[in-house]
Amino acid sequence: MSGERLPVKRTAKLFIGGTFPRSESGRSYEVVAHDGRPLAHAAQASRKDLRDAVVAARAAQPAWAGTTAYNRGQILYRVAELMEGRRAQFVSELADVGATDPDRGVSAAIDRWVWYAGWADKVAQVLGGTNPVAGPYFNFTVPEPTGVVGIVAPGEQSLLGLVSRLAPAIVSGNTVVVLASETAPLPAVSLAEVLATSDVPAGVVNILTGVTAELVPWLASHMDVNAIDATGVRGDQLGEVEELAAENVKRVHRGPEADPFSDAAQSPYEITALMEFKTVWHPIGA
């Protein structure tokens, strides 16, 4: 063999149901670095891809919600372990898109997985409970996952911003369909590769790349999506999202407007924002 070897470049695909398909439309779009260098061609998801992702998320949700809280916490911790092993790749991808301190961004993203993993078996005890009532009854408040959640990841902080929205959504038993940062999708693609080799069951997390403004209305209007985290939705599109979400009474949530590196950017209330609290009455005595 003679001549210089050409490296095998990765194809940035979608992540649906634990597999990596190309977009059914065959479309892709160019991803460029902050200095204009071409980095990759990412799959441009279509409405059909989004529907497939919702189907996969719905199929996975009962088993994921039925997993013990302790086990879910261990699975999230495993994601952090695998990200630590691929730190150099994530740092390089953040540097390519001009992140100010890519090493700090990767560290914060890994630490955020660990932080939310610790809440898996605590949130029900802290925010649920037994309520005093005037009558011969026990009255319990029990938190439960909402179901299938759509997440529009922030365009900036393409890794830490994504993890900050994803981890609190799945730790309680929800499954998700994520729209990754349009301009910097490669960290999300790498995270999908981590999830595929971790213990996260297929379909719990589904990640789509593409034109966010094109996909957001279909995510907001899908009748089998129970809630939407609209943190990454542009302000001029938020009204449309809220109107479409009203068709099946989706909960619309936006993350805190805080420095993503600060303590204010992580909270147990980001978990409960995408949970339902059920109240149960039970009579006392015969």
pLDDT of 116-141, one tens digit each?
A: 999 999 988 888 777 788 888 888 88
Residue 243 amino acid letter: E
160-181 per-position pLDDT tens digit: 999 999 999 999 999 999 999 9
Give the pLDDT of residue 176: 98
The mean pLDDT of 210-216, rounded to a whole number, is 95
Q: With CA atoms as reference, report the closest residue to 230 among 251, 207, 254, 210.
A: 254
Which of 8-17, 82-91, 184-193 has the least mean pLDDT? 8-17
39-49 per-position pLDDT tens digit: 999 999 999 99
CATH superfamily of domain region 43-283: Aldehyde Dehydrogenase; Chain A, domain 1 (3.40.605.10)
Cβ atoms within 10 Å, residue 256: 15
d(CA 220, CA 228): 7
d(CA 213, CA 14): 17
Place of tokens 């470049």: 9
pTM value is 0.92
Tokens matching residue 168: 């609190």
267-283 per-position pLDDT tens digit: 999 999 999 988 888 88
Which of 52-61, 120-129, 186-195, 220-229 has the least mean pLDDT? 120-129
- H or E segment and range at residue 206: strand 205-208
Give the pLDDT of residue 2: 61
**What percentage of the chain reaches a pLDDT higher than 90?**
78
